[in-house]
Amino acid sequence: MSAIVRIDIQPLSARMPRPWVPGAPDLHLVRVDVEDAEGRTGSGFSWTPTIGASAVAALLSDDIRAFALGREADPRSLWPDLWAHLHEAGGGGVTTIAMAGLDLALWDLHARQQGVGIAGLLGRRHERLPVYGSGVNLHYTEDELAAQVRRWIDRGLSAVKIKVGRPALAEDVARVALVRELIGPDRELMIDANQRWDLDAATAAAEALSVFEPAWIEEPLRADDTAGFRELARRIDIPIALGENLHTVHRFREAIDGGFAGVLQPNVIRVGGITPFLRIARLAADAGVVIAPHLLPDLSAQVAVCLGAPCWVEDVEDAGFDALGLLSAPSPVRIDGAWAHVDDVPGLGLDLTAPDLSKESL
C-alpha cells in the first residue's frame, strides 16, 4: 500500500435557493485532495451546512494532515488510528466531520485506481432506491408548505417529510393535518422535530399527531438524551428516528441496545466517512433496525445501493450538489421522480467546485 504524500484543503460555499435557516443562507463544505507516493489522487469533502467550516478546515490542515502524511493510503486501517489520535479533541462532532473529508478522498483514490465507482468497489446490491421528499420548512407559511407538498406529489413521490416543533402544538397539528389531507392515506408521512422538545412536550405532540399516522417521528428530543429517548419509546407508539446527530458507532449501538431506535439515520459525513458508516450499517442490519441515511443523496445513495436491505434516500428540495452549482460535472446520483439511480463513474464522481472556491490550500 502506497503512502500519503500530499493533502490539500480548500473551503467552498454555495448560496442555497431555499435556505434551511433564514439567517444563514449559505452551505459550506471543505474539499480534501490527496495524493499517494505513486501519484494517484483522490478527492473527498467535509460538510458543515451552517456553522463550523473554519474549525473543520483548521483540524484538517493541522492535526489531521500532520498525522496522516507518510501513512498508508488505506482508509480502513487509517481511520481507527486517526480517531484515536484526535479523541482528546472530542470523540465526535467536528473531529469526525473533519475525518470524513480524508476518508472520502482515500476511498475515491482506491475506487479510481480500480476504475470503478464507490458502488462498484463496495458491491452494488440495488439498481435504484426510493426517494422521499424532505423539507426544511418549519418557517414556511401554510401556503408555502402546501405548495412544496404539491410539488412532491407532482413528482410522484410516495413519501414526504415535514418539520414540526412550532411554538404552539396546535400549529403543528394544523400543518400536519394539511399535509396528510394533501397526500392522502396511501403516501408515507414522516415528521421531524429537530430536537425541539423535552420529554413531556414530545409525549404530548406524539399523542396529538398520531392520528395522522406518521411513519416516524424524527429527533423529538436532544440527540444525547438517552434516558429521555428510552422513556419516550415506552410512552408512544410512533417509531422514533434518530442518528443525524450521533457521531460514533458507540452511540448508535447505545440507541439500539436502549430499544428506542425505530429508524437509524447516520450521516456519512458526521460519522466520519464511508469507513465508519459501513460499520454502523452492519450494526443496524445485525439488530434488524431500519436504516435511512441522513441527507447528502449525492454521496449517501452511492453507499446505500450497496446495503443489504433497500432504504429511503432523503431528497431535500433544491439542496443537491448539482442544484447548488457545486459540481463541475453531473452528479453520479440521478434522482428521477420517485427513484434515485447511481451511475457507474470512477470514484465518488463528485468534482466539487464553486465560483468562490479558494485557489490556495490552507
**For every one of its 362 residues, what pLDDT tens digit does the chain have, with 9 covering 90 and above?**
799 999 999 999 999 888 888 788 899 999 999 999 999 999 999 999 888 999 999 999 999 999 999 999 999 999 999 999 999 999 999 999 999 999 999 999 999 999 999 999 999 999 999 999 999 999 999 999 999 999 999 999 999 999 999 999 999 999 999 999 999 999 999 999 999 999 999 999 999 999 999 999 999 999 999 999 999 999 999 999 999 999 999 999 999 999 999 999 999 999 999 999 999 999 999 999 999 999 999 999 999 999 999 999 999 998 999 989 999 999 999 999 999 999 999 999 999 997 443 443 44
Does one domain contain both 149 and 226? yes
The verdict on whether 161 is a catalytic residue reads no
Q: Among 113, 140, 159, which residue terminates a domain?
A: 113
From 126, 294, 341, 359, the catalytic residue? 294
pLDDT of amino acid 205? 98
C-alpha cell at 282: 452492519
Does one domain contain both 21 and 138? no
From 161, 163, 341, 359, the catalytic residue? 163
Q: Residue 101 belongs to a domain with what CATH number?
A: 3.30.390.10
Q: Among 113, 148, 176, which residue terminates a domain?
A: 113
Q: Is 308 domain-assigned?
A: yes
Domain interval for residue 59? 4-113
Read off the pTM.
Answer: 0.95
Structural domain count, the chain: 2
d(CA 301, CA 307): 10
The verdict on whether 341 is a catalytic residue reads no
d(CA 243, CA 218): 9
d(CA 106, CA 84): 18
Q: Tally the residues of the chain.
A: 362
Does one domain contain both 57 and 174? no
Does one domain contain both 85 and 231? no
